[in-house]
Every structure is written in structure tokens, then in C-alpha cells.
Amino acid sequence: MNKKLGYAIAIVAFAGFIGCTSNALTHKSQLSLVSDDEVLSTASSQYKQFLSTNKVISTSSGSKDAAAVTRVSNRIIAAVKKYYTDIGQPEQLNNYAWEVNTVVSNEANAWCMPGGKIVVYTGLLPITQNDAALAVVVGHEVTHALANHGKQRMNQQLLEQLGGQALSVALANKPQQTQQVFASAYGLGMQYGVTLPFGRQDEYEADKYGLIFTALAGYDPHEAINFWNRMQNANSGKAQPEFLSTHPSDANRIAQLQSMMDETVAKYYKPQR
């Protein structure tokens, strides 16, 4: 039997045993091997550990980079809260203890862990270049957390590597291996092109809602196109062909963003004065 097909069958069978939940943002049915409480607790611990081993710059230091990351992230957070209020599900964010940090690194990257734990690397800022483009990235990463993309990947890895053990059991029996599963699921310490945290459909989904949150925050969503053009140029000669990667190519991502731009602007964009 094809290995991937075997995993898929195992996941479907196991899902029937433990049940599924519906995600409030995407309305998709999702495997619930890992409880939200377990994920939030592990995320908080991993986040603190990450910050303790990396150079964090704060707004109080007078850093313009940190000020920009905090300013933009706070507006995206406000937009997310508005969106969930508008769809009548503000309680979905009750367990979110939002936190924003800027980390000194040459890597052009950003991520958001469960519970709203955001990190932006300084190496990303020369490519974003402005608040609107930074909002596109932060909105995208926040969507990954809201849509439980990392949690679903972690469910899959627990099934594949630990035989479907619940997270609480795995933490007790194999704490180091479980931490590695968590790090891999959320892309912590992973190198682009080696282990990628999210699949193409997850990326397109994050693009879609990230664009909506950017517009709701009062930033021009058209800047997403400019940003990904700059990212494409920065990745020139480095990125793998799309069929070798779980990520969509920059060109395909740009085309997808273009296709949803007019509707997003008309429905959500009101420039802040």
C-alpha cells in the first residue's frame, strides 16, 4: 500500500474513533487528537523557550523595527477580533493571550503559534518595506494559528510517529520526541526547503484570510502583490519548483491573491486616516 495512502486511511479511521471538530474560521471539520488546552499549554512553553534562546528587541529600546512589528500586529489583532465579533463567535478567541515579539535574525520569516504568540524576524523587514506589506505577512501567520493548521499537522505526526498517542500521554512518555513533533508542526527551527510546516492548501487559506485581516486593519491589501513580487525576487535561484515543495510558488500565490483582491477590497477595506 502507498505510504501516504496508508496514513490517510489511518487518519480517517482514527478520526472516526476520537471525533472531529469544526473550525470557526474555515468551517472545516478537523481531527481532534490534540486538545486545545494541551496545544495552548505546549505553545506557551515553547514560545518562552524560543524567546529565551534568541535575541529579542523591544519597543522600549527605541527600535523602529520593533515599533513597526508591534504597531502592525496590534492592528491585525484588532481586525481579527472584529472579524470574529462580526461572525458572532468572539468567544473563539477567549483563550488567546496575544503576544508580539521581534527577533534579530537574517532569516526572512515570521510565525504565530496557538494562542496568538507572534514572532517577526528582522530579516523579513527589508522585504516587507512598509506597514501594509508587514500586515499581509502577520495576517497570514495569524491565520495559520486561527485555522489550526499547525495543530492538524501535529495530529498527523502524532499518528505517524507516536502511534496516535494523545499529546498528554506522549509528553509523559516521550517528552523530547513530542517537543520535536511540536517544533516541526509549527516550523520552529525548520529550514526552508527541508521541512516545511504547512501544505499548499493551508498556505492559500492563510493568504485568503490574511488578506481579509489586512484590509480590516485598514491597510491596502494590494500591497500583498508587491510584497510577494519582492519575495519572489529575493528567492530568485533559491526556491524549489512548486511540484517539489508543499508551498505554492510565488507566481501561483500572486495569481491566487489577484483573483480574490477585488472582492476583498470591496467588502473589507476601509483605509484608516
Residue 8 included in any domain = no
Pick the more confident residue, 88 or 236: 88
Whether 141 is catalytic: yes
Number of other CB atoms surrounding residue 56 within 10 Å: 14
In this predicted model, what pLDDT tens digit does every residue of 249-262 receive, in sequence order?
A: 778 888 999 999 99
13 within some domain: no
Q: What's the average model confidence in pLDDT over 210-234?
A: 94
- Report d(CA 142, CA 203) in Å as an integer: 12
pLDDT bin (cut points 50, 70, 90) of residue 185 is low
Catalytic residue, chosen from 141, 203, 205, 223, is 141
User: Kindly report the CA angle at 94 between 92 and 99, in degrees rounded to 5?
Assistant: 110
> Is residue 150's pLDDT more than 80?
no
Per-residue pLDDT at 29: 74
The larger pLDDT score, comparing residue 196 to residue 179, is at 179
Which domain, by its residues, includes 42? 31-268
DSSP letters along 226-243, please? Answer: HHHHHHHHHTTTTSPPGG
Instruction: Let me know if residue 21 belongs to a domain.
Output: no
Amino acid letter, 188: L
Q: What is the mean pLDDT of the chain?
A: 80
pLDDT tens for 4-18 read: 434 443 444 444 444
Is residue 49 in some structural domain?
A: yes
Q: What's the whole-model pTM score?
A: 0.81
Q: What's the number of domains the chain is made of?
A: 1
CA–CA gap between residue 99 and residue 113 (Å, rounded): 10
pLDDT band at 186 (very low <50, low <70, confident <90, very high): low
Identify whether 211 is part of a domain.
yes
Is the residue at 1 inside a domain?
no
Contact 101, 67 (CB under 8 A): no
Give 202's contacts (C-beta < 8 A, 6+ positions apart).
144, 147, 149
In-domain check, residue 255: yes
Q: For 121, phi and psi rounded to 5 degrees? A: -90, 145
Q: Which residues pair with 56 in a beta bridge?
A: 103
pLDDT tier at 32 (50, 70, 90 boundaries)?
low
Whether the predicted pLDDT of 178 surpasses 70? no
The pLDDT, as a whole number, for residue 165 is 53
Angle formed by the axes of helices 200-216 and 131-146, nearest 10°: 130
Q: Which of 28-32, 210-214, 256-260 has the lowest mean pLDDT?
A: 28-32
> DSSP 3-state assignment of 270?
coil
Domain membership flag for residue 4 = no
